[in-house]
Chains A and B, each alone.
Chain A
Amino acid sequence: GDSVTQMEGPVTLSEEAFLTINCTYTATGYPSLFWYVQYPGEGLQLLLKATKADDKGSNKGFEATYRKETTSFHLEKGSVQVSDSAVYFCALGRNEKLTFGTGTRLTIIP
Chain B
Amino acid sequence: DTAVSQTPKYLVTQMGNDKSIKCEQNLGHDTMYWYKQDSKKFLKIMFSYNNKELIINETVPNRFSPKSPDKAHLNLHINSLELGDSAVYFCASSQEVIQGNSGNTIYFGEGSWLTVV
Contact = CB atoms under 8 A, between A and B. Distances in A.
Interface of A: 29-32, 34, 36, 38, 42-46, 49, 51-52, 87, 89, 93-100, 102-103, 105
Given A42-B111, A98-B106, A103-B41, 14 more contacts: A32-B100, A32-B104, A43-B111, A44-B108, A44-B111, A45-B108, A52-B101, A93-B106, A94-B98, A94-B99, A94-B100, A96-B97, A97-B48, A103-B43
A43 to B, nearest CB: 4
Interface of B: 31, 33, 40-45, 48, 50, 55-56, 90, 92, 97-111
Contacts of B99: 93-96
Contacts of B92: 44
A32 B107 CA distance: 15
B85 to A, nearest CB: 19
B97 to A, nearest CB: 4
Contacts, number: 77
A99 B44 CA distance: 7
B101 A32 contact: yes
The 4 closest A-B pairs by CB, nearest first: A51-B103, A43-B110, A44-B108, A100-B43
A105 B56 CA distance: 29
A93 B109 contact: no
A21 to B, nearest CB: 14
Contact of A43 (B40, B42, B90): B90
Nearest to B103: A51
B108 A30 contact: no
A31 B101 contact: yes
Nearest to A43: B110
6 contacts: A36-B108, A43-B109, A93-B100, A97-B45, A100-B42, A103-B43
Contacts of B43: 44, 89, 100, 103
